């Protein structure tokens, strides 16, 4: 059986662990996220995302099918929307407006016009071809874009985001592809030996009582971290872990530090 492919053509849709509206949301797809379809039922499709190889279920009404040629083309496109809350995209054949979010993937634009599947869109906003050259100077500013965004399990936007979704979306602005979950991201990057070695953009990982990595954040310097916990916030960090001054206690136990650029 030949594989089937799809692309998200809506602003933001849930990816669920099971084929049910009541099922846990394990992640989200942004406009332009494309995927391989593993299984299709009457209402749901089980998919494998191209960006981070993450598996879940999406409602059949919330994506459009594409050919393998289009899918392969999307694999070679790395333009994304910049750090603005909304980017308006007008769908040409209906004049309907989509409010696209920061980090959404789009084909290259010509005079603001781009094509996705069989539709054309006029973009009011800015896209970039991300690269790691800007990482050192831009990583802290990119992370601060999400400051105070509410925590949402499975979230990947400024309107709700989890810890690994936060790191993934910030790093995407610089063309660095992180996996979806914190434990997966901990298997990437270059290991650091000491907290004092860390600099802005390094990732710190934290484990639970069972030794499983369950949390991740972005170092702003070797004494401060920005991470999603209740909301995206800045806290102090030392060799023991994250110290929350509002709670007057440590909230996360440091396990390892990794460098990605």
Residue range 149-162: mean pLDDT, rounded: 98
- Whether 203 and 102 share a structural domain: no
pLDDT at 2 over 80: no
Q: What is the pLDDT of residue 127?
A: 92
Last residue of a domain, which of 127, 153, 173?
127
- Whether 202 and 142 share a structural domain: yes
Q: 10 Å Cβ neighbour count for 2?
A: 5
Instruction: Kindly report which listed range (105-114, 183-192, 193-202) carries the lowest average pLDDT score.
Output: 105-114
Residue range 187-202: mean pLDDT, rounded: 96
pLDDT in tens, 210-235: 999 999 999 999 999 999 999 999 99
Q: Average per-residue pLDDT in the chain?
A: 95
Last residue of a domain, which of 71, 96, 127?
127
- Whether 15 and 121 share a structural domain: yes
Report how far residue 24's alpha carbon sits from residue 57's, in angstroms, rounded to the nearest whole number: 10
Q: Which residues contact 95 (CB under 8 A, 6 or more apart)?
A: none
- Whether 157 and 199 share a structural domain: yes
Residue range 2-8: mean pLDDT, rounded: 91
- Whether 8 and 120 share a structural domain: yes
Q: What is the pLDDT of residue 203?
A: 98
Residue range 191-196: mean pLDDT, rounded: 95
Residue 166: domain span: 132-259
Q: What is the pLDDT of residue 117?
A: 84
Q: CATH number of the domain that 255 lies in?
A: 3.90.1720.10
pLDDT at 1 over 80: no
Q: What is the pLDDT of residue 110?
A: 87
The reported pTM is 0.96
- Whether 38 and 103 share a structural domain: yes
Domain count along the chain: 2
- Whether 34 and 65 share a structural domain: yes
Instruction: Kindly report which listed range (36-40, 58-62, 119-123) carries the lowest average pLDDT score.
Output: 119-123
- Whether 107 and 224 share a structural domain: no
> What percent of the chain has a predicted confidence (pLDDT) above 70?
100
- Whether 19 and 122 share a structural domain: yes
Instruction: Kindly report which listed range (3-12, 48-57, 113-122, 178-187) carries the lowest average pLDDT score.
Output: 113-122
Q: CATH number of the domain that 35 lies in?
A: 2.30.30.40
pLDDT in tens, 75-132: 988 799 999 999 999 998 787 999 999 999 999 888 889 999 888 999 998 899 999 9
Last residue of a domain, which of 127, 162, 191?
127
Q: What is the pLDDT of residue 230?
A: 97
DSSP-assigned beta bridge partners for residue 226: 218, 234
Q: What is the pLDDT of residue 77?
A: 80
- Whether 149 and 253 share a structural domain: yes
pLDDT in tens, 241-252: 999 999 999 999
- Whether 99 and 142 share a structural domain: no
Residue range 16-37: mean pLDDT, rounded: 98
- Whether 178 and 200 share a structural domain: yes
């Amino acid at each position: 059986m030949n594989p089937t492919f799809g692309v998200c053509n809506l602003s933001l849709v849930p990816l669920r662990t099971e084929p049910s509206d009541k099922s846990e949301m394990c992640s989200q797809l942004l406009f332009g996220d494309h995927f391989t379809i593993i299984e299709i039922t009457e209402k749901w499709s089980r998919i494998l995302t191209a960006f981070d190889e993450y598996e879940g279920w999406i409602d059949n009404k919330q994506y459009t099918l594409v050919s393998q040629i289009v899918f392969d083309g999307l694999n070679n496109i790395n333009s994304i929307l910049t750090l603005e809350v909304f980017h308006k995209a007008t769908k040409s054949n209906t004049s309907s407006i989509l409010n696209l979010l920061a980090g959404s993937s789009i084909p290259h634009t010509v005079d603001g016009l781009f094509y996705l599947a069989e539709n054309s869109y006029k973009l009011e906003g800015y896209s970039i071809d991300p690269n790691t050259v800007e990482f050192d100077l831009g990583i802290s500013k990119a992370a601060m874009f999400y400051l105070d965004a509410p925590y949402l399990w499975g979230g990947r936007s400024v309107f709700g985001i989890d810890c690994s979704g936060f790191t993934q979306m910030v790093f995407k602005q610089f063309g660095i592809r992180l996996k979806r979950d914190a434990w997966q991201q901990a298997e990437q990057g270059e290991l650091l030996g000491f907290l004092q070695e860390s600099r802005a953009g390094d990732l710190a990982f934290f484990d639970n009582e069972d030794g499983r990595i369950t949390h991740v954040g972005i170092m702003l310097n070797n004494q401060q971290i920005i991470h999603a916990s209740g909301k995206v916030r800045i806290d102090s960090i030392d060799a023991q872990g994250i110290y929350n001054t509002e709670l007057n206690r440590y909230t996360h136990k440091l396990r390892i530090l990794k460098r990605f650029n």
